[in-house]
Structure 1
């Protein structure tokens, strides 16, 4: 082969190598695929975020239920929020926590811990704690329930079971 021909051939290959890239159609296909994946994954991601926010309320109400039971064991009555010393804020970004009745009486009929939603689309919760007296031994024991609203609230609001009770009513019983 002639040297001139070899040189031109190598220059042609070098220029062709520099012009490599993606076509517009290839880029559009990639963007469409990414869009479809995002459309499928986004609703699942958002529902997981709401579930994580609801776990906060379940954990806090459960901790306050256990604190009320411990307080009753020590003092023989249920305590107000400040008496428990649980270190849980009364209001977070997503929930507001309060007791019903706010200042428990010595009658020990029970107490409800209410987790009202401050963000729409979340489920409110109620924690119920009450004392039972065993008829044979005359000893008091405490029982507790955690109740969850069946459907998320369309706007901010409290749970349907607000007064001290021994059942979740229309709410879902998550157990003791």
Structure 2
């Protein structure tokens, strides 16, 4: 038969405090890292949309020989045939400077991201006022 220990009363207060302290330290490390990853994922959606607009503008230029301004997502859709999501950023294309610009609507990520095409739209460069950690390398 099993012996029952009557003096066993569970965890001591110090053991519980140590566990709470460990959980607090882990949370202090994990929460900022998690928010950074979620911001990068949201910025990734903007980069993806800029890439779609870039492809559409390049095709339009190769077929028409010129491009036209599109200052809103609706104009980008009707002119270039690309449906861009507007939840994370507002988009516009300026034909004279060959710039596709996205202005962030993400909380904690401010500024713009710009994708500029060469005169023949074969090469593109990234720039902008957004934190450089979010802007792709050229």
- TM-score normalised by the shorter chain: which range applies? 0.7 to 0.9
Match of 1:67 in 2: 56
CA RMSD of aligned residues (A): 2.8
Deviation readout 1:71-119 (Å, 9 max, x if unpaired): 1111112144122112213x21x2111222xxx5xxxx44321100123
- The equivalent of 1:146 in structure 2 is 126
Counterpart-to-counterpart distance in 1, 2:98 and 2:52: 14
Structure 1 distance, partners of 2:28, 2:4, is 42
Greater Cα radius of gyration, structure 1 or 2 = 1
Q: 1:95 to 1:68 in 2, by over 3 A?
A: same
The question of whether the paired residues in 1 share the 8 Å contact of 2:89 and 2:104 is answered with yes
Unaligned runs of 5+ in 2: 71-75
Count of residues paired in the alignment: 128
| Structure 2 CA distance for partners of 1:27 and 1:173, relative to 1, 3 Å | closer
After TM superposition, what 4+ stretches of structure 1 lie above 4 angstroms from structure 2? none
| Post-superposition CA distance 1:123-157 (Å, at most 9, x none) | 5201222434xxxxxxxx644222243537xxxxx
Q: TM (normalized to structure 1)? A: 0.60
Does 2:114 correspond to 1:126?
yes
Q: CA contact under 8 A between 1:78 and 1:110: conserved in structure 2?
A: no
Superposition pairs of residues 158-173 of structure 1, within 5 angstroms:
none
For structure 1, list consecutive stretches of 5 or more residues without a partner in the other structure. Answer: 1-9, 133-140, 153-171
Asked whether 1:174 is paired with 2:137, we answer: yes
TM-score by length of 2: 0.74
Contact 2:112 2:130 in 1 (8 A): no
